[in-house]
Amino acid sequence: MQVSNTLTLLMPTVWNTEDVDACERDGAAASGFAKYHASKTLAEKAFWDYFQSDPRAFDGVTILPTVIMGPFQQYTPEGADPSGSAGFLKWLLSPGLPPATNSQSVYNLVDPRDVAHGMVLALTKEKATGNRYVLSAGPHKYPDAKPNTTPEFLQSLQSTAIVYDGSKITRELGLRYRPKLETIRDTMAAF
């Protein structure tokens, strides 16, 4: 893990071993999030082990999107709130929600249209073979969407943010991410 002065930067070479360790240590008592994340890590590692055992068998590439947030196509019954990241955004922007007070309000997002474009690039560019690509348009802070926050909170974001580096796919395959505010606007328009 590479650490800079004010944030932790996670690169495509970093693997989530913490949740795998938690599941091995805690077994059935591990949190649901740890189990979910560990299963994704172990599945991807199994894929790469197989790929490396005979790289001539097929081309291999993995796309690792962060929080996918953007216009959604899921069925939502009339009067019901959307689920997933769209539901989170709707809650985040709800009137009366108090200003954020903790550093858990930083998350990395990527628009689903950018995820789809990244997958097309990975499928059509030969140099993608054998690579892991993190897809992240960068960190999104609670105040980006809801600016009524305290100066102390804004300062805490700078010291505790975890940022996933999504620049490799831009450099190597040419993916350009949509601006985060465009993603938020388009998501809200879908409500």
Residue scoring higher pLDDT (4 or 37): 37
User: What integer is the mean pLDDT of 38-64?
Assistant: 89
**Nearest by Cα to 168 from 138, 133, 137, 136:** 133
Q: Is 7 helix (H, G, I), strand (E, B) or coil?
A: strand
DSSP secondary structure letter of residue 177: P
Least confident of 94-103, 135-144, 167-176: 94-103
**Domains of the chain and CATH, by start:** 2-13+59-189 (3.40.50.720)
Predicted TM-score (pTM) of this structure: 0.76
Residue 63 backbone dihedrals phi, psi, to 5 degrees: -110, 125
User: What integer is the mean pLDDT of 155-166?
Assistant: 67
- Using one digit for the tens of pLDDT, what is the confidence trace for 166-184? 999 999 999 999 998 888 7
- Using one digit for the tens of pLDDT, what is the confidence trace for 33-48? 899 989 999 999 999 9
Highest mean pLDDT among 91-95, 142-146, 154-158: 91-95
**Nearest by Cα to 186 from 68, 90, 71:** 71
| Amino acid 68: pLDDT | 86
Of the chain, the percentage scoring pLDDT greater than 70 comes to: 64
Tokens 């580096």 locate to 165
For residue 190, the one-letter residue type is A
Q: Interior CA angle at 188 toward 184 and 189, to 5°? A: 115
| Amino acid 67: pLDDT | 84
